[in-house]
Amino acid sequence: MHDPATTADRIAHVELDEATILWRSEDVERERVAAMTDLVAENQFVPLRAVERGHQGPWSLRLSVADGRLDLWISDAEGADAGAIGLGLARFRRDIREYFAIVDSYYKAIRNPSAQEIETIDMARRAIHDRATRQLQEALEGKVDTDFATARRLFTLICVLHIRG
């Protein structure tokens, strides 16, 4: 893996289309902040078509969801439009629903802690998140070169964009 501090093959800035998000609970907001902070701090991201067209990173991303599709709007190091990647999200619906159900259970469990219950819920949460991350990596194949940790954080942000109140 590249050192993110010295490579252009990374995301330097990420933002969500706030118009897409109508409401977030405190727990979901915590997930969003952690995912965005961790993503910018350490990631591997190479949008292949943008690079083929001569663009260079580090990259800025703007994520939005519209009409059942995730759009990743990419800007290069100079702030120039480096294109967009659209992904159909139907394949993620079940994982998104399950992920938020388990996250809700997790936050309820940590308010009334039982170590066994928290551990069980956290294992289930990680399993759902890992499955969805692998699906996202498959969907990005041939479009973006990325690692598992980066795709995992992107999946969390996709979930946040799906909140409808």
Q: Where are the domains of the chain?
A: 11-161
Taking alpha carbons only, the member of 43, 55, 23, 46 closest to residue 155 is 43
The DSSP H or E segment spanning 89 is: none
**Which residues, in sequence order, are bridge partners of residue 65?**
70
The pTM score is 0.82
C-alpha 59/C-alpha 15 separation (Å) is 12
**Residue 82: per-residue pLDDT:** 97
Walk along the chain (165 residues) and give the pLDDT tens digit of each residue. 444 444 789 999 999 887 766 556 776 777 788 888 999 999 999 999 999 999 999 999 999 888 888 899 999 999 999 999 999 888 888 888 888 787 777 777 777 767 777 788 878 888 988 999 999 999 999 999 999 999 999 998 888 777 654
Instruction: Check residue 6 and give its pLDDT.
Output: 45
Q: Round to whole Å and give the CA distance between 10 and 97.
A: 29
pLDDT at 21: 61
